[in-house]
Structure 1
């Protein structure tokens, strides 16, 4: 039997001199002149310089509106988000006035295309409740074994493992895919929270695994299962529920939802499709952005001695853009969006309740700093960069602060995003299966010249 000593095994996780050499070849032979993208009219990111996306499909599920027609021309306007034609602001106002949680109601709307009445909503709630379960020994055999410090990876592994328990895993008929999607929507909070506790247990902390309660909403169950004492306030649950609603969907063109369409078009199974979307959402330019926002503000609060000093805050923001502060990427995280240029409606809704939560948690000073940066950052960016459209705070700007005040661990910020967005992914998967029987395959222009093969001895 071939064995590997410890020194040899370590090279699996090290960049060796040989790897560095190969990496140099990768960089050298993969570089493309940026001017060629303009020459061949390539829409990098599938968007033009004005932020308009390449039309790649049709959808009934949601719409992101950031422009209006004035005198025959498109001009930026306050952003609006529509779920199945309903303005998100109206939907949120509706369930808040009716004093019930919104996740289940809005999930019904996105999945089935219409708002439920009381009987339909109760039936849907009961359907989700009966699916809040995992296969016998799944927690022990899958979640507890080799828990990952990255919860998105832990979730992905759990979802792929559920494939093996499903006798109809590869059936892509609408009824079966809907069954799978409802299962995953219901199971997601458990997979997320149990994975978090399993890793902490491996790190030496106490282990507690609570079963979800059939009487509680999705948001309430997340808080209850996460906390050892099972306690939470009504305001905490209401704001987490709102966060889930605001993150449920965002048009068909966002990176993870487009991934859902692409992977679904190949004919693969639901579990693989959702994991592909998860991999996309994990990225710091997509769902991982809220973690970056909180890390950036943690650094800012440490480096800026007086949070009320406009000049000092401005200097820090300038250092961010000059790659002198935080992660030296030249970005002010949470500012700007691919579509919105005047305002992100999700951020606008969130902000109204963030201030209320800040008062309850005694975080008024932190909130004031966020508010200051929200107003100041667009000015600083405009001074330093050529921008083709407006810059505004996006939903990630405030969601990180909200999750922090809710005492949610940063490792769960992106999974909570996913716990909401899985509803949108499910709706888009069902829509793709119903309407399009064609694999998505865009074109790339080849640049390499054709060459004659050279024999080894002649190289």
Structure 2
């Protein structure tokens, strides 16, 4: 269940004796054959509420970590101040979804018949319950999402009347916001539903919203890039990703497989990234899931977050324009040197990771299997060979290795999705799986309004001076 991830256990090992956790962890990973996700959560949540309450009561005064002035000025980088149950990012291991690596998720999560990549429905079940679902449970999620996929006519009308110049992410965020007219949580809150029931209505909104996101994204795509052609109807026999691909206008089975992989690996990246933290913060004010996810999408749209894969592809495209489709290693090195005079090399380095991003690796494996001779993929492979060594020699970044954004755009382009402005919308559809599964648990565990203390520079200087005076006094 949520708390005993390997990274969190390592975090508290220095202050909490291991045997203190044994009783708290018992029965956390018990599974069930029930196919109704809400019923599974209804069984899990009381146990987890009791476990967390016991942990908080016993260890509420245990200090964790140390905050420095550099952390405060550095965007709170590395400060441990947020509980986020669904995933943990380790600097060396990469992302773990409920304790499982991407490789383990690819191996263990159910797949579509004839497919090799995990179904996002299974990943959502894992994030929500910490249990690897059965095929029957995944089929139940697929059916639920297919049944909830229709969007209100006023949202369709709004999307159809947006100007073509409006960025796809702006349209996406606006549509999600307007969907809150049908929020079951907002209505229940106004009816004074007990706090103990909050999670149930967040669950309903989350299932509704996840189901509708591919429909919204597809309308935006068709309006902007396919002359407003109709998306068609949801096929009850198809999974979430397959229906999404069809609505976008793609019938290539390999593209469907890529979409399943893409929607799975981009779903969550622990709670400190901009989109996840934004949804967590806005949700802590008891804003409904629609408003919270819309806010998260506005953060995701930034060039330092979800827009990064587009920046990578633009950079590679310019590389090809300048030195051709078959550059030598020496030409690439020179191009990188020129780039570093004014900026960073997009797609390399990461705020937390200190090795090659496992999300990059699984996309590379997909490309090696399905498109080994693609010219752009060959350049990405060449960059993988040349850039980390060069950046390491120059000492430009702590982590010279490629991240997820270094690869995803090239794969999408190979299958014909060349509209780079839309890539972040795909990212947003996926990221909703992570932030909404967490939001269910945030309300179930009664997480309060998030309200950290801020300081002015003068106040911080005075605090540091006072701390220094105390240390001198002790030393004397």
> What is the TM-score of this pair, normalised by structure 1?
0.77
Decide whether the 8 Å contact of 2:266 with 2:431 is kept in 1: yes
Per-residue displacement from partner, 1:307-333 (whole Å, max 9, x unpaired)?
A: 33111111111111101xxxxxx0111
Of residues 440, 444, 447, the one that matches 2:454 is: 444
CA RMSD of aligned residues (A): 2.4
The answer for unaligned runs of 5 or more in structure 1 is 1-36, 48-52, 67-76, 324-329, 450-459
How big is the shift at 1:386? 4.5
Change in CA separation of 1:63 and 1:443 when aligned onto 2, cut-off 3 Å: same
Decide whether the 8 Å contact of 2:267 with 2:431 is kept in 1: yes
Q: Distance in 2 between matches of 1:366 and 1:437?
A: 46
Higher helix share: 2
Q: Distance in 2 between matches of 1:356 and 1:87?
A: 21
How big is the shift at 1:87? 2.3
1:418 maps to which residue?
428
Of residues 245, 248, 268, the one that matches 2:287 is: 268
1:374-389 correspondence to structure 2 within 5 Å:
374-387=384-397, 389=398
How big is the shift at 1:285? 0.9
**Bigger Cα displacement from structure 2, 148-157 vs 186-195:** 148-157
How big is the shift at 1:436? 4.3
Q: Distance in 2 between matches of 1:165 and 1:352?
A: 41
Of residues 63, 83, 92, the one that matches 2:97 is: 83
Q: Distance in 2 between matches of 1:342 and 1:40?
A: 23
1:345 maps to which residue?
358
Q: Distance in 1 between matches of 2:184 and 2:282?
A: 21
Decide whether the 8 Å contact of 2:159 with 2:175 is kept in 1: yes
How big is the shift at 1:393? 0.6
SS at structure 2 position matched to 1:63: strand
Decide whether the 8 Å contact of 1:321 with 1:384 is kept in 2: no
Q: Distance in 2 between matches of 1:97 and 1:223?
A: 14
Query: Number of matched residues?
Result: 380
The answer for unaligned runs of 5 or more in structure 2 is 1-66, 190-197, 460-476
Question: Within the alignment, does 1:209 sit opposite 2:231 as a pair?
Answer: yes
**Bigger Cα displacement from structure 2, 185-194 vs 252-261:** 252-261
Per-residue displacement from partner, 1:171-225 (whole Å, max 9, x unpaired)?
A: 4611111111111111001101101222347xxx352331222111222122211
How big is the shift at 1:294? 0.7
1:27-426 correspondence to structure 2 within 5 Å:
42-47=72-77, 53-66=78-91, 77=92, 79-94=93-108, 95=110, 99-100=114-115, 101-136=118-153, 138-139=155-156, 141-148=157-164, 149-166=166-183, 169-171=186-188, 173-200=198-225, 205=227, 207-227=229-249, 231-232=251-252, 234-305=253-324, 307-323=326-342, 330-359=343-372, 363=374, 365-387=375-397, 389-408=398-417, 409-426=419-436
Decide whether the 8 Å contact of 1:147 with 1:195 is kept in 2: no
Decide whether the 8 Å contact of 1:152 with 1:415 is kept in 2: yes
Q: Distance in 2 between matches of 1:152 and 1:40?
A: 33
Per-residue displacement from partner, 1:368-402 (whole Å, max 9, x unpaired)?
A: 21111122212332344444x33211111111111
